[in-house]
Chains A and B, each alone.
Chain A
Amino acid sequence: MSETGRHADVPEETLPSERHDAHGDAVAKGENPFADPGLPAHEHRVQDIDEKAARRSERVVAYLFLLSMLATVAFIASYVIFPIDKIVFIWPIGHISALNFSLGLTLGVALFCIGAGAVHWARTLMSDEEIADDRHPIEAEPEVKAKVLADFAQGAKESGFGRRKLIRNTMFGALALVPLSGVVLLRDLGPLPEKKLRTTGWKKGIRLVNQSTNLPLRPEDIAVGSLTFAKPEGLEEDSEDFNENIAKDALMLVRIQPQNIKDKQELAWSHEGIVAYSKICTHVGCPISLYEQQTHHVLCPCHQSTFDLSDGGRVIFGPAGHALPQLHITVKDGFLEAARDFAEPVGPSFWERG
């Protein structure tokens, strides 16, 4: 039979009964036409019988190792010869760094030839006679198991672990509590969320500044069919927390014919058809950057959430869960400015968002 493990503890019915003896040892051929014929006789390679062929193989291996040495020399030479900024044209790859190309190629050849030499050596010159080795069951013999269990029982008994419950329980308590120190220490990894995710840098009277020109925006700067990106005035690129702020404040502006704005609140929060929406996708926070002029749809390039800017920033396709937040804008002294902060948190939703 083919069992190598024991299964004394398994009820008979749960073992699949066998129709045939599987992977058993070779049986005399007469009874079983499918018997394992046993290991085939070793077939000699040409190198085993022809010394000339063997010497040829030896030479091939040596040439490969030699080639590897040459490649390493070439590697060092390339390192010295090629300036780091030299660009060369290599067909069919195109214009690439001469240094990277030569270093990689020579290193590759140096390594590959060592490997090829070793493998060729093993395949042609080392013995290729297959050897059968016995396997032994992983499970311990019953005597070993009995000894281990007895040892354990004795050790456990000597410790008094089971008998002295007070020690056991207090020890469990101590061991359970002590990792808490580690957890407490993690507290200063970061601040508490508080209202941070609910507020942005926009508030009443803050002017909208064009991202690319860094100048305050006038209504006439926003042309029909174009997408303009804006940030709050006073947020400078070289300020320490620019990234944290722009991650929430980034704005996109489009101009839509007022009669084409379908949402009433959107119309009220717009100025002469100029609407300002958060640029941060409400799905997982990618900046939205693709704008379709005719339909006023914007698409997030990360996960393809699509929003309708003429209809309150409603989600019309994709995995985003809610509309883009709109910023209420007005005009003062000829410049666009925020009337208030966003009415809802920008970016991806979170448990406390509500």
Chain B
Amino acid sequence: MSNETSATTARRGQAPRGERVADWADGRLGIYSLAKSNMRKIFPDHWSFMLGEICLYSFIIIILTGVYLTLFFHPSMAEVTYHGSYVPMHGIRMTQAFESTLDISFDVRGGLLIRQIHHWSALIFLAGMMVHMMRVFFTGAFRKPREVNWLFGFLLLVLGMFTGFTGYSLPDDLLSGTGVRFIEGVILAMPLVGSYLQMFIFGGEFPGHDIIPRFFTVHVLLLPGIMLGLLVAHLILVFYHKHTQFPGAGKTNKNVVGMPLLPVYMAKAGGFFFLVFGVISVIAAVASINPVWAIGPYRPDQVSTGAQPDWYMGFAEGLVRVMPGWEWNFWGHTINFGVLIPILVFPLVLVAIAVYPFVESWVRGDKREHHILDRPRNVPTRTGFGVAWLIAYFVMLIGGGNDLWATHFHLSINSITWFVRIAFFVGPVLGFIATKRICMGLQRRDRDKVLHGRESGIIKRLPHGEFVEIHEPLDQEQLHVLTQHEQPTPLELGPEVDENGVERKVSRSKKLRAKLSKSYYGEDNVIPKPTAEEFKEITSGHGHH
């Protein structure tokens, strides 16, 4: 009965049309409950929170343009003789993959633009992920409850690298084919299974006729499929955990301060997608990327100089280039350490940063949730480790382009290689020490600012002739921001003997933890922040300057 009534009122058009559609959907999908907690979801505002957005949007752009490219690309290694619009390549033998890439560039109107948007977005996607990861790292946003989301993000970065690699290999041009040959050499270097893996992956001897179609499947289906799943999970967790925020007035560990999804972030984030897409389109309009027509089709006996992978593979390339050519022969077998070690170090370096959140929470014994971001200076050991990691990464990036460094700066390639070999080990250590010192200096400055105020730059002359600079006291928000961080005491192992004089057994892992804990909170690693007493003492009216 009542059902009938409500149906009649609806028919009379009393509920607006949009509401009726929403009602229909709610009855089937439960959208009202979903929207209740999410429609006005609060997001804090900070420029660095946009870095992840750049990654999301460039990923969407990659998918959109990628689908378009599949409409024209032929992932085939069948050999053809070129007779298309690009005259300089006439009569040259190439695979259909290369031919269709030329067609996309020269015969499909707008095809070149979409190709260039696709490639540029991929570079920006990976650069964005890298910078986003660094933001999360240096501000400690990976702490509980976000460790799993950190791992999702890390996996996206790693998968993104391999999706990028398989993608730029598809045109089967001379440069990318050289990269595929490199992969073949790496596979062959695997002890025991290398030559079998090589035969299975390439469908026979290099290059065979299978690797491009196989890369195609991996590039357009397998990896993006996994990445899409991870990305959705990553975003769901961001919503579920609610975004972290920097310390500030009114911002606590128990609230989230910002503006609502509807309408502000809908407009800002939605708008930002178009800004990113627009900027990448303009880049693709004016800056050529991967001009395969200038490189030519792949042939295993030809090569160009200055062969470089895309930037995100430069780190691995550097490891391979600077590794000494060690090779062991024994009992009729060969271990090619010159290739094997770099290929093992590569994932190890990546894993080192991936597992860092778990190491830190173990050292700190901290099981609480953290939603207020750290200022990097207040955690010198973590910041130092991050800088050390980045130095190792960038040193290897130099190694990966050692030939370009040599030709552009007129340096000896041998000395660049030796520099990289040494700097890979020494640089991170120096960087760690220097960063820690800088962090301590900044902590000291924060302390001075809290106690003595901000240097105003105004010089005052006192009646007796002395010049002083006027220090302005900080406002309440700044006082709070500069003092809100924790300064725990390091883990103590306790006395070596118990009350009966018997030696206490302290496990080795505990000793290690105590040592590491000291490097986080020990006296030499922390500038004690001002106490309320110190502050009152100084600001209680005695002339201070």
With contact pairs A14-B365, A18-B486, A350-B189 given, residues A119 and B307 touching in the complex (Cβ less than 8 Å)? no
Q: Cβ of B254 and Cβ of A303 under 8 Å apart?
A: no
Instruction: Using CB atoms, name the residue of chain B closest to A239.
Output: B79
Q: From residue 300 to 348 of chain B, which have CB atoms closer than 8 A to chain A?
A: 300-307, 320-327, 329, 331-339
With contact pairs A16-B488, A287-B303 given, residues A244 and B260 touching in the complex (Cβ less than 8 Å)? no
Instruction: Provide the residues of chain A in CB contact with B480, threshold 8 Å.
Output: 34-37
Q: Cβ of B249 and Cβ of A38 under 8 Å apart?
A: yes
Q: Cβ of B339 and Cβ of A304 under 8 Å apart?
A: no
Q: Cβ of A20 and Cβ of B278 under 8 Å apart?
A: no
With contact pairs A5-B368, A10-B365, A322-B327 given, residues A33 and B479 touching in the complex (Cβ less than 8 Å)? yes
Instruction: Provide the residues of chain A in CB contact with B414, threshold 8 Å.
Output: 317
Q: From residue 33 to 57 of chain A, which have CB atoms closer than 8 A to chain B?
A: 33-40
Instruction: Using CB atoms, name the residue of chain B closest to A252.
Output: B301
Shortest Cβ distance from B65 into chain A, in angstroms? 11
Q: From residue 354 to 396 of chain B, which have CB atoms closer than 8 A to chain A?
A: 364-369, 371-372
Q: Cβ of A84 and Cβ of B109 under 8 Å apart?
A: yes
A331 to B366, CA, bound (A): 78
Q: Cβ of A119 and Cβ of B275 under 8 Å apart?
A: yes
Q: Cβ of A186 and Cβ of B200 under 8 Å apart?
A: yes
Q: Is B290 an interface residue (CB 8 A)?
A: no
Say which one of A157-165, A171-179, A192-200, A266-274 lies at the interface with B: A192-200
Q: Cβ of B182 and Cβ of A284 under 8 Å apart?
A: yes
Q: From residue 17 to 36 of chain A, which have CB atoms closer than 8 A to chain B?
A: 17-20, 22-26, 29, 31-36
Instruction: Provide the residues of chain A in CB contact with B487, threshold 8 Å.
Output: 18-20
Q: Is B202 an interface residue (CB 8 A)?
A: yes
Say which one of B158-166, B191-199, B497-505 lies at the interface with A: B191-199
Complex interface bits, A244-264 against B, C-beta within 8 A gives 1, otherwise 0: 101110100000000000000
Shortest Cβ distance from A192 into chain B, in angstroms? 6
Q: Is A111 an interface residue (CB 8 A)?
A: yes
Shortest Cβ distance from A217 into chain B, in angstroms? 16
Q: Is B100 an interface residue (CB 8 A)?
A: no
Instruction: Provide the residues of chain B in CB contact with A196, threshold 8 Å.
Output: 199, 204-205
The A/B interface has a contact count, at CB < 8 Å, of 415
Q: From residue 251 to 293 of chain B, which have CB atoms closer than 8 A to chain A?
A: 251-260, 263-265, 267-268, 270-282, 284-286, 288
Partner of B334, one of A90, A128, A138, A349: A349
Pick the most buried of A22, A99, A121, A289: most chain B CB atoms within 10 A of its CB. Answer: A22
A128 to B483, CA, bound (A): 28
Instruction: Provide the residues of chain A in CB contact with B302, threshold 8 Å.
Output: 287, 289
Shortest Cβ distance from B484 into chain A, in angstroms? 5
Instruction: Using CB atoms, name the residue of chain B closest to A315.
Output: B325
**B interface residue count range (under 10 / 10 to 19 / 20 to 34 / 35 or more):** 35 or more
Q: Cβ of A319 and Cβ of B323 under 8 Å apart?
A: yes
A211 to B302, CA, bound (A): 11
Partner of A34, one of B109, B324, B364, B535: B535
Say which one of A102-110, A148-156, A220-228 lies at the interface with B: A102-110
Shortest Cβ distance from A54 into chain B, in angstroms? 15
Partner of A279, one of B203, B301, B488: B301
Q: Cβ of B270 and Cβ of A23 under 8 Å apart?
A: no
With contact pairs A126-B263, A132-B257, A354-B334 given, residues A38 and B484 touching in the complex (Cβ less than 8 Å)? no
With contact pairs A135-B254, A285-B184, A321-B327 given, residues A238 and B267 touching in the complex (Cβ less than 8 Å)? no
Q: Cβ of B327 and Cβ of A349 under 8 Å apart?
A: yes
- The prevalent SS among residues of A at the interface is loop
Q: Cβ of B194 and Cβ of A350 under 8 Å apart?
A: yes
Q: Cβ of A193 and Cβ of B196 under 8 Å apart?
A: yes
Q: Cβ of A193 and Cβ of B321 under 8 Å apart?
A: no
Q: Cβ of A19 and Cβ of B329 under 8 Å apart?
A: no
Shortest Cβ distance from A349 into chain B, in angstroms? 5
Shortest Cβ distance from B102 into chain A, in angstroms? 12
Pick the most buried of A31, A193, A196: most chain B CB atoms within 10 A of its CB. Answer: A193
With contact pairs A119-B275, A238-B79, A349-B189 given, residues A5 and B206 touching in the complex (Cβ less than 8 Å)? no
Instruction: Provide the residues of chain A in CB contact with B279, threshold 8 Å.
Output: 108, 112
Q: Cβ of B339 and Cβ of A34 under 8 Å apart?
A: no
Pick the most buried of B117, B210, B249: most chain A CB atoms within 10 A of its CB. Answer: B249
A349 to B186, CA, bound (A): 10
Partner of B259, one of A31, A112, A131: A131
Q: Cβ of B190 and Cβ of A23 under 8 Å apart?
A: no
Q: Cβ of A118 and Cβ of B270 under 8 Å apart?
A: yes
With contact pairs A137-B369, A284-B181, A287-B300 given, residues A109 and B113 touching in the complex (Cβ less than 8 Å)? no
Complex interface bits, A128-142 against B, C-beta within 8 A gives 1, otherwise 0: 111111110110000
Q: Cβ of B204 and Cβ of A191 under 8 Å apart?
A: yes
Which residues of A approach B to under 8 Å, CB–CB?
2-5, 7, 10, 13-20, 22-26, 29, 31-40, 79, 84-85, 90, 93, 96-97, 99-105, 107-119, 121-123, 126-135, 137-138, 186, 189-193, 196-197, 211, 229, 231, 237-238, 240, 242-244, 246-248, 250, 279-280, 283-290, 301-305, 315, 317-322, 347-354
What 8 A-B pairs have minimum CB-CB distances, sorted nearest first? Answer: A104-B285, A284-B185, A112-B278, A118-B271, A16-B488, A321-B327, A115-B274, A39-B250
5 residue pairs from A and B, CB less than 8 Å apart: A16-B490, A24-B252, A243-B207, A243-B299, A318-B321
Query: Beyond the given A33-B532, A190-B202, A246-B299, could you list 18 further A-B residue pairs with CB under 8 A, ordered by the A residue number?
Result: A16-B491, A16-B521, A20-B486, A26-B250, A79-B109, A97-B112, A127-B264, A129-B259, A135-B242, A138-B145, A191-B204, A287-B301, A304-B413, A321-B338, A348-B336, A350-B195, A351-B191, A351-B333
